[in-house]
């Protein structure tokens, strides 16, 4: 086996690893906020959007602007979970109505 080949592979892997851009906390929050907005939009279309979900996202944005990244991520994740639960609630209540068991 050519001794240069493993060295070449190692250098190539290092260069690829260095070429990927590092994500900043702001980028991470921006991606999460976009996901939350999408989930809120879907929950709103179902008519089951929860009362506090949009407020949580707004508080998350304010925390991010104030430099409190961990708080912002926590609030945004709470908003995401609420929007997803609202969608699940809408699915579960899609055919709601009285149930009369057979006797």
Q: Is a pLDDT exceeding 70 seen at residue 5?
A: no
Tell me how many degrees the CA angle 17-19-21 measures, rounded to the nearest 5: 100
- The tokens for 16 are 């690829």
Number of helices and strands (H, E) in the chain? 4, 0
Closest among 33, 54, 40, 51 to 87, alpha carbons compared: 40
Lowest mean pLDDT among 46-55, 72-81, 92-101: 92-101
Query: What average pLDDT does this structure show over 88-97?
Result: 91
Domain segments of the chain as ranges: 36-94
3-state secondary structure of 20: coil
Say what the pLDDT of residue 98 is: 86
Q: What is the pLDDT of residues 22-42, one digit of tens each?
A: 689 899 999 999 999 999 999
Q: Is the pTM of this model over 0.75?
A: no
Kindly state the average pLDDT of the residues 57-75. 97
């Amino acid at each position: 086996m050519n001794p240069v080949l493993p060295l070449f592979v190692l250098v190539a892997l290092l260069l690829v690893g260095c070429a990927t851009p590092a994500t900043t906390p702001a980028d991470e929050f921006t991606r999460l906020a976009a996901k939350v907005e999408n989930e809120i939009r879907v929950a709103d279309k179902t008519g089951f959007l929860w009362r506090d979900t949009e407020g949580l996202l707004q508080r998350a944005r304010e925390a991010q602007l104030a430099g409190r990244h961990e708080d912002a991520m926590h609030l945004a994740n709470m908003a995401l979970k609420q929007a997803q639960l609202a969608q699940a609630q809408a699915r579960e209540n899609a055919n709601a109505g009285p149930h009369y068991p057979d006797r």
